[in-house]
Amino acid sequence: MHAHARKILVTPRSLTTVGHQALGRLSAAGYEVVLGPSGKMPTAADLVRLLPGCVGWLAGVEKISDDVLAAAPDLRVIARNGTGVDAIDLDAARRRGIEVRRAEGANARGVAELAIGLILALARSIPLADAAIKYGGWERRKGIELEGKTLGIVGCGKIGRIVATLATGLGMRVLGHDPFAQDSSDLPLVPLETLLAESDVITLHCPPPADGSPLLDAPRMAIARAGVLIVNTARHELIDIPALVAAIDRGHVSGAAFDVFDAEPPLDRAHLTSDRIIATPHIGGFTDESVDRAVDVAVDNLFHVLTGREGARC
């Protein structure tokens, strides 16, 4: 270790459990790597304790408030190991001169493949069938085939476009909605209300609305086609959960799948016991390949801000 080593905090759970070879690039450049609590999302108290003396932070999805940043007077850069930055107080970071960098698209393939997996699991009630057999039962719920069905993709960035390609391979018709994307022949863009009305399956790949209101509330779910399946691998805040539960109870929504929650682990699990709902513990980008890409990009981003160049790849 170099004398006067500067510290870099690393907090994503995928890295504090088993580490990652890309972190060796930081050590080799003379930085002291400080790991957050092993395999757990750090609390604000953890962060306030760990951040003093850190010039860089390779961050996960933990909440990063102004109070937390106040404990880090030397911090110059926060590099996320994913694309979402809505857990970060961006105004506070800007005021304090801290750059925030995202690992653009690094986990897109992992999230897209999970979304397709959840769509198939809902269409064929795979978790229900598996659980029934394991507990001595024999439950057969009639499924649907995806060929010829319409998939509505809300959010047509890198993840949404990979989902569109995979869904097209399954023989699905795809529609997109994204106020910031370009229309294209392989993914036609339509107003949200049109997408809701025409889709047999809806998958969300966008940030929450800026005003904090859910994108899918009771009135919008009422517009949706009867029997629709809904998949959310993006952000918990996108869906009004009580409205969704009510729509499932009356049969208007056939099923839903979530990879994102109000907290990790979730505070409210009452709705998750429904056999019409599939829940996975935020595993969208939790693949060997996505983690490798995301950590390499995040480490590159740390080096770009702290040294103006890329660190050597291991």
Question: In the predicted model, is pLDDT for residue 164 greater than 70?
Answer: yes
Q: What is the pLDDT of residue 78?
A: 98
Q: What is the pLDDT of residue 184?
A: 80
The predicted model gives 128-151 an average pLDDT of 97
Q: Which two tokens stand for residue 108?
A: 């897109």
Question: In the predicted model, is pLDDT for residue 2 greater than 70?
Answer: no
Query: How many other β-carbons are positioned within 10 Å of the β-carbon of residue 34?
Result: 15
Q: What is the pLDDT of residue 221?
A: 97
Q: ω into residue 265 within 30 of 0, thus cis?
A: yes
Closest alpha carbon to 251 in 288, 276, 218, 223: 276
Amino acid at 178: D
Whole-Å CA distances, 26 to 48, 217, 314? 22, 45, 10
Q: What is the pLDDT of residue 313?
A: 52
Contact (Cβ atoms closer than 8 angstroms) between residue 80 and residue 302:
no
Q: What is the pLDDT of residues 80-100, one digit of tens each?
A: 998 889 899 999 999 999 999
DSSP 42: P
Closest alpha carbon to 151 in 190, 203, 187, 116: 203
Q: Which two tokens stand for residue 240?
A: 């009004």
Q: Which residues contact 101 (CB under 8 A, 6 or more apart)?
A: 77, 78, 79, 80, 298, 301, 302, 304, 305
Q: What is the pLDDT of residue 26?
A: 95
- Superfamily of domain 6-106+288-307 in CATH is NAD(P)-binding Rossmann-like Domain (3.40.50.720)
Contact (Cβ atoms closer than 8 angstroms) between residue 100 and residue 93:
yes
**What is the distance of C-alpha 237 from the center of its chain?**
12
The predicted model gives 54-59 an average pLDDT of 97
The domain locations on the chain are 6-106+288-307, 108-279
Contact (Cβ atoms closer than 8 angstroms) between residue 260 and residue 281:
no
| Single pTM value for the model | 0.88
Question: Which entry of 80, 177, 282, 293 is annotated as an active-site residue?
Answer: 282
Q: Is 304 a catalytic residue?
A: no
Question: Which entry of 80, 235, 276, 293 is annotated as an active-site residue?
Answer: 235
Q: Is 32 a catalytic residue?
A: no
Contact (Cβ atoms closer than 8 angstroms) between residue 159 and residue 135:
no
Whole-Å CA distances, 238 to 152, 173, 243, 256, 265? 15, 23, 12, 13, 18
The predicted model gives 288-301 an average pLDDT of 95
The predicted model gives 17-31 an average pLDDT of 92
Q: Do domains 6-106+288-307 and 108-279 have the same CATH topology?
A: yes
Q: What is the pLDDT of residues 266-292, one digit of tens each?
A: 998 999 999 999 999 999 999 999 999
Residue whose entry in the numeric block shows the structure tokens 């016991």: 273
Three-state SS annotation for 104-138: CCCCHHHHHHHHHHHHHHHHHCHHHHHHHHHCCCC
Question: Which entry of 264, 271, 304, 310 is annotated as an active-site residue?
Answer: 264
Q: How many helices (H) and strands (E) does the chain have?
A: 12, 11
Which residue did the predictor score with more confidence, 68 or 263?
68
Q: What is the pLDDT of residues 146-159, one digit of tens each?
A: 999 999 999 999 99
**Strand partners for 216:** 239
Mean pLDDT score of the chain? 94
Question: In angstroms, rounded to a whole number, what is the distance separating the alpha carbons of residues 233 and 257?
Answer: 8
Q: Is 4 a catalytic residue?
A: no
Q: Which two tokens stand for residue 212?
A: 């904090």
- The dihedral through the CA atoms of 40, 61, 152, 224 has a sign that is positive
Closest alpha carbon to 121 in 132, 130, 111: 130
Question: In angstroms, rounded to a whole number, what is the distance separating the alpha carbons of residues 23 and 31?
Answer: 10
Which residue did the predictor score with more confidence, 111 or 2?
111
Q: What is the pLDDT of residues 184-211, one digit of tens each?
A: 888 999 999 999 999 999 999 999 998 9
CATH match for 108-279 among 3.90.550.10, 3.40.50.1370, 3.40.50.720, 3.50.50.60: 3.40.50.720
Burial of residue 245 (CB within 10 Å: 0-12, 13-18, 19+) is middle
Local structure of 99: helix, strand or coil: strand
Local structure of 65: helix, strand or coil: coil
Contact (Cβ atoms closer than 8 angstroms) between residue 38 and residue 85:
no
